[in-house]
Chains A and B, each alone.
Chain A
């Protein structure tokens, strides 16, 4: 009897953990403190535990979303939230072009649209620090940034054209069980507009040359900095209503504490 109670409580604890654990289709990322490649003055940032979608949002999933939320259909989306490139590869409000694959990541998506999609799922966009943290792992280790193979792979993808037309889940999953952070499309982050590049036309208040990502990159000898620099530079150059061919998104979620 005693062992039975013990067993039962064990099972209950297990159920408890699983229930409050990962949502379907998401992977648990254990947070940590790390130094992002292009933070300010190599400051350590802290990422808390969070859940991240295993795959980027697909055309199919986005079709279901616009069917339910007509305000995000191609012809209804307001220009302030999505520019004229929004869903450019869709033949009408509800369907993507015939030559596109439903299991390809959805692109031509603005930040506002991506944010609305995640909100509707009870999720949110990942922060830039979270995204970079999850993306610095390869198949075997949490932080593969110093590996030559990791960086070469990313850069070879950056060179590959039309990777947005590939299907999700074809690249190997990373340490966390997440697919396609590299190799498919670039992804929106909630605070993409926190990238500041002085020396650009934006005239930021910082005169500190350390902040100018470009100068650091030019001085960088390793590929690692170069790949990250490209991502940060890209984020610094886009606006929230831009819809771009190779830019998609996935959602993240705080861990619910019971």
Chain B
């Protein structure tokens, strides 16, 4: 009897340790169907059926095909599928910012040392952009302290600094996603006390396709090259 209970329990718990992501992947790769004769052009369906025009059975669109025609390049930050929340409490992914040149920096709002200067550097860059350029640029401040920097806190910070308007965007996400974003932009950071972080000071420019085109390192450095790169990136928007 005891043995049976033991075996049953072991089986049960073995089941629990199986790969949790399996179901995830299958939903991510939900099949897309399309008329094989392309009667309706690029129109796709979520479920199998027949084409309303030629009545042929809909065919599955190969995911690889989708990738090939997809516009995201391999080096694009839009490959990050993490969800972020802006200062207005709206959820978004980096891909939602596609089309504009992105200038990003990682800060935290309770920072007293480097961040105010980093934010000042961002403002100086923004101030030097021409009006036309600015229309195609988003200045993105990503929090490295998501615990403290709630959307409300980001909002308050934005308002205090008169940055609660275009082209400024404040973002926060989970600690995991933040670590990942930092890894992409090669920003290193470490929590050194309950309220303070030590971090690299890097401003990154992404073109409208999300590809990194330039990085400015350091505080209060000359930002001419950064501005040139932003303008170049804006000029090359299709």
Hey, which chain B residues are within 8 Å of A8, CB to CB?
Answer: 2
Are the C-beta atoms of B74 and A236 separated by less than 8 Å?
Answer: no
Q: In this complex, what residue of B is CB-closest to A236?
A: B188
Interface string of A214-258 (1 = CB under 8 A from B): 000000000000000000000010011100000000000000000
Are the C-beta atoms of A80 and B25 separated by less than 8 Å?
Answer: no
Contact of B190 among A196, A201, A202 (CB under 8 A): A196
Interface string of B76-97 (1 = CB under 8 A from A): 1101000000000000000000
Contact of B19 among A120, A204, A206 (CB under 8 A): A120
Hey, which chain A residues are within 8 Å of B79, CB to CB?
Answer: 78, 80-81
Do A194 and B76 form a contact, CB below 8 Å, given A23-B17, A202-B200, A205-B113?
A: no
Are the C-beta atoms of B17 and A196 separated by less than 8 Å?
Answer: no
Judge if A24 is at the interface, Cβ distance under 8 Å: yes
Are the C-beta atoms of A40 and B192 separated by less than 8 Å?
Answer: yes
Are the C-beta atoms of A196 and B198 separated by less than 8 Å?
Answer: yes
Hey, which chain A residues are within 8 Å of B2, CB to CB?
Answer: 8, 11
Interface string of B47-80 (1 = CB under 8 A from A): 0000000000000000000000000001111010
Judge if B201 is at the interface, Cβ distance under 8 Å: yes
Are the C-beta atoms of B198 and A122 separated by less than 8 Å?
Answer: no
Q: What is the minimal beta-carbon distance from A144 to any residue of chain B, in angstroms? A: 26
Judge if A19 is at the interface, Cβ distance under 8 Å: yes
Hey, which chain A residues are within 8 Å of B201, CB to CB?
Answer: 203-205
Hey, which chain B residues are within 8 Å of A236, CB to CB?
Answer: 188
Docked complex Cα distance between A190 and B189 (Å): 12
Judge if B21 is at the interface, Cβ distance under 8 Å: yes
Contact of B188 among A40, A202, A241 (CB under 8 A): A202
Q: What is the minimal beta-carbon distance from A18 to any residue of chain B, in angstroms? A: 8
Are the C-beta atoms of B189 and A194 separated by less than 8 Å?
Answer: yes
Are the C-beta atoms of B187 and A193 separated by less than 8 Å?
Answer: yes
User: Binding site of B, secondary structure by majority: helix, strand, loop or mixed?
Assistant: mixed
* Residues of A138-165 whose CB lies within 8 A of B: none
Are the C-beta atoms of A196 and B199 separated by less than 8 Å?
Answer: yes
Are the C-beta atoms of A122 and B19 separated by less than 8 Å?
Answer: yes
Are the C-beta atoms of A80 and B179 separated by less than 8 Å?
Answer: no
Judge if A195 is at the interface, Cβ distance under 8 Å: yes
Hey, which chain A residues are within 8 Å of B6, CB to CB?
Answer: 11, 15
Q: What is the minimal beta-carbon distance from A217 to any residue of chain B, in angstroms? A: 18
Judge if B37 is at the interface, Cβ distance under 8 Å: no
Are the C-beta atoms of B217 and A196 separated by less than 8 Å?
Answer: no
Docked complex Cα distance between A79 and B73 (Å): 9
Are the C-beta atoms of B74 and A206 separated by less than 8 Å?
Answer: no
Hey, which chain A residues are within 8 Å of B198, CB to CB?
Answer: 40, 196, 204-206, 211
Docked complex Cα distance between A122 and B18 (Å): 8
Do A190 and B179 form a contact, CB below 8 Å, given A15-B5, A120-B19, A204-B201?
A: yes
Hey, which chain B residues are within 8 Å of A49, CB to CB?
Answer: none
Docked complex Cα distance between A204 and B217 (Å): 9
Judge if A69 is at the interface, Cβ distance under 8 Å: yes
Interface string of A156-199 (1 = CB under 8 A from B): 00000000000000000000000000000000001101111000
Judge if A50 is at the interface, Cβ distance under 8 Å: no
Residues on A close to B: CB < 8 A?
A: 8, 11-12, 15, 19-20, 23-24, 40, 43, 69, 78-81, 111-112, 115, 119-122, 190-191, 193-196, 201-206, 211, 236, 239-241
Q: What would 11 more interface pairs be, CB under 8 Å, given A40-B192, A203-B219, A204-B201?
A: A15-B5, A24-B14, A40-B198, A112-B183, A122-B19, A201-B217, A203-B200, A205-B198, A206-B198, A240-B184, A241-B183
Q: What are some 19 contacts across the A-B interface (CB < 8 A)?
A: A11-B5, A15-B6, A19-B12, A24-B17, A80-B74, A80-B184, A122-B17, A122-B18, A122-B20, A190-B179, A193-B189, A196-B188, A196-B190, A196-B199, A201-B217, A203-B201, A205-B113, A239-B186, A240-B180
10 closest A-B pairs (Cβ-Cβ)?
A240-B183, A205-B114, A194-B190, A203-B218, A122-B20, A79-B74, A78-B74, A19-B13, A120-B21, A193-B188
